[in-house]
Structure 1
């Protein structure tokens, strides 16, 4: 299953549309006014499916994940990595590794099986990622990961500039 994750051009708060490979809207992501990133995920009909909230205080960037209003776990950036970046998705036992420019990622389960790959498309006006998901049932959780890494990079860029 492929999804295209595209940031909206004119949006004060983080806002994204996620499309299926045939061009239909699969998810909508809307940011909330908050000190740290707080993003809600909706289906095309406007029903809330999940939420990704950046923790206020943590040693490394951490995002709490909610599905149907219940906390299901966290995504944490690993502190030390020589080349690229690495994240853990605790509740699922997933790990994600990114290349040194942090544009391409692969997510594996606890047995080393591929869950998804993500790649950033470079020739776009806004941040755009292609998500190639092995099992369509994992789409929401993979989307939560992409939202968290994009928000973490955004926070890091604000703090550095």
Structure 2
């Protein structure tokens, strides 16, 4: 299953539409006014289904991931000199690849492919493709990508 992750062109806060392969909106992400990043994820019917929230009082950037109101895990940046490194406590997953250029893979604890993320060039706004192996992992993969994207934005 492929998801197209596209940032909205004019928005005061982080806002994204997530499309399926047929061009239908399957998720909408809306940034909320708060200390740090707070991204709420809505399904195609407008029901809030998840949230990625920055922990403000943290030495290095840290983001908590919620499904509904239930805490599911977090991602926080580790100290490194040249390439971003993350400690991921979410579904037993880990990430490999090139974070700076946005080409990376999400792998399960056993090393199986969960999703591949790649940036599409020559678009007006940030646009990424999330290629998910199992459609049931789509929301979880999206939330991990959102946390990494929010950390990247907090560096700029």
Q: Give the TM-score taking structure 2 as reference length.
A: 0.93
Q: Is the 8 A contact 1:86 1:97 kept in 2?
A: no
Alignment partner, residue 123 of structure 2? 124
Query: Structure 1: how far apart are the matches of 2:86 and 2:121?
Result: 22
Q: Tell me the alpha carbon deviations over residues 100-139 of structure 1, each in whole angstroms, 9 at most, x when there is no partner.
A: 6331111111111111000011111101100000111111
Choose 84-93 or 63-72, whichever is displaced more. Answer: 84-93
Written as runs of structure 1 = structure 2, the 5 A alignment for 1:38-57 is 38-57=38-57
Q: CA deviation at 1:75?
A: 1.5
Q: Is the 8 A contact 1:52 1:64 kept in 2?
A: yes
Distance change (3 Å), C-alpha of 1:44 and 1:65: same
Q: Which runs of 5+ in 1 are unaligned?
A: none
Q: How many residues align?
A: 156
Choose 70-79 or 35-44, whichever is displaced more. Answer: 70-79
RMSD: 1.5
Q: Tell me the alpha carbon deviations over residues 12-54 of structure 1, each in whole angstroms, 9 at most, x when there is no partner.
A: 0110000001100110000000120000000011001100001
Q: Which runs of 5+ in 2 are unaligned?
A: none
Query: Structure 1: how far apart are the matches of 2:99 and 2:146?
Result: 19
Written as runs of structure 1 = structure 2, the 5 A alignment for 1:102-117 is 102-117=101-116
